[in-house]
Structure 1
């Protein structure tokens, strides 16, 4: 019965992670296109989707929590029975755990992406070297060349 619960929580966590990937697919792609070169975007997007699955399943399938259905627990030294109510509670905890884990990961991604977008925009608005600076550099180069000769 515990193995069935483990497999069921895995399937539910995988389904929730898939739903999150489908919802956030376009925002992830558009943010990565603004921050990274075009040839790197698909690889980073694929990695981020993989991370959503790993973090979501890891947060949703709580293997250490299923121990209470296998060994006697304090204070009564009894094994907790797997009733219908327990199944429902475990599935609810799986959904919430999956969403919490993915939310923390995506929040970190979006914060760092926002910082990267701001940095990119600052450097885009930065003025290029003015002609006067180029003229000074050119004059200095001429002086150095004349000294060497």
Structure 2
């Protein structure tokens, strides 16, 4: 039963990462094309998509918590029972934790992207170079 829970939480996290990756594909492309050279923007976009998957799956599949299902019972500890309510709760936690992890990663990226955009914009204004049309 534990392996089924591990597999389901992994698949749910993977699906959440896929959706988020697709939703943020164009904004990430646009930001990176504006900040870095076009030929390297593609590589950075690929890396950010990879990071979305890594962060989302590692946040959604909480191995340290799932280890409780494998611990042997003691006087002070009883392993959680995998009933229908627990399954629903674990799937819900997986979705929320995946989204939360990805949101933090994207927030940090967008903060640094904003700083980089301001630097690029100031440099363009000082050199008199025209801004790329949208």
**Residue 72 of structure 1: how far off its partner (Å):** 3.9
**How far apart are the structure 2 equivalents of 1:74 and 1:35?**
56
- The residue number in structure 2 matching 1:47 is 47
Q: Is the 8 A contact 1:73 1:80 kept in 2?
A: no
CA deviation vs aligned residue, 1:14-68 (integer Å, no higher than 9, x gap) = 0000000010000000000110001101000000000000000000001111122
**How far apart are the structure 2 equivalents of 1:60 and 1:105?**
14
**How far apart are the structure 1 equivalents of 2:63 and 2:93?**
12
- The residue number in structure 2 matching 1:119 is 119
Gaps of at least 5 residues in structure 1 are 129-149
Q: Does residue 20 of structure 1 match 2:26?
A: no
RMSD: 1.4
Q: What TM-score does the superposition give when structure 1 sets the normalisation length?
A: 0.82
C-alpha change, 1:30 and 1:75, in structure 2 (3 Å) is: farther
**Residue 94 of structure 1: how far off its partner (Å):** 0.4
- The residue number in structure 2 matching 1:88 is 88
Higher mean displacement: 7-16 or 70-79 = 70-79
C-alpha change, 1:75 and 1:96, in structure 2 (3 Å) is: farther
**How far apart are the structure 1 equivalents of 2:86 and 2:123?**
55
Q: Does residue 59 of structure 1 match 2:59?
A: yes
Gaps of at least 5 residues in structure 2 are 129-134
For this pair of structures, how many residues does the alignment match? Answer: 128
Q: SS where residue 17 of structure 2 aligns?
A: helix
